[in-house]
Amino acid sequence: MHEIEPYFNWSHLYNAAEDERSPFYGNEHSEFEFSNTIYNYYIHPQWDEFGSRTLYLKILFADYDLNFAIIELIGEWNDAIENDIMQLKRSVIDLLISEGIFKFILIAENVLNFHSSDAEYYEEWYEDIKDEGGWIVAINMPEHTQHDFQKLHLDRYIHFLQNENWRTFQPLHFFQVIDNTMLRIDSGNEKIN
C-alpha cells in the first residue's frame, strides 16, 4: 500500500496545501517519512489524514467558481467502528460546503472495504447540497465495496459511476463529463449502475 500515491498529474493546477480555502491549507508532506498506516500497512506520506485511522484522502482539485471538488480516497471506509463518514463530513465536507462546494467527485478505486452503520451523515450531506443542485458521485469503487454501500441503500445519496479513463482528462473536462452524466440521470434519461 505504501506505493499507492494520490494522483499527482493535476498538482501543477491545484494543491490543497496551498489553497487558503482548503481544510488542508498549510499541510506539509514528507516524501520519505512513512508514518500513517491502515492497520499495519504504511501508506504513502502524500495522503492527508482527517481523523480516521483507516481512511485517508487527497483533494485533487477544487473549483470554487464551478462549485466542485475531486477527492481521492484510500483505505477501509469503516462507519461501524471508526465512524468515518462523521469524521469526513465534519472535518472536510462541511468546510468545503461552507466555501461553496456542493458537487463532490470521490475517486474510490482504492476504497478496499466498507463497514456500515447508519445513513444519518450521508443523508445530512445530501440535504446540505441538494437545494444547490449538488450531488455526490463515487468513481470506480470496487464492486464488492459498492455492494455494501447499496445494501444500506446509501445509493440514494451517493451515485456510483465507472470511468476507467478519468486520469486522461484535465480536471475541468472530467468534471464536465460527470456533471453532464448527472444531468442525464436527474432528468431520467440515464440509469445509475
Residue 167, classified by CB atoms within 10 Å of its CB into exposed (0-12), middle (13-18) or buried (19+), is exposed
C-alpha cell belonging to residue 14: 491545484
Residue 186 has pLDDT above 90, yes or no: no
Identify the pLDDT of residue 190: 59
Select from 132, 128, 149 the least CA-distant residue to 193.
149
Would you say the pTM of this structure is higher than 0.85?
yes
Identify the pLDDT of residue 80: 93
Residue 188 has pLDDT above 90, yes or no: no
Query: Can you tell me the mean pLDDT for 139-161?
Result: 95
The fourth-level CATH superfamily of domain 16-186 is: STAS domain (3.30.750.24)
* More confident of the two residues 187 and 66: 66
81-108 per-position pLDDT tens digit: 989 999 999 999 999 999 999 999 999 9
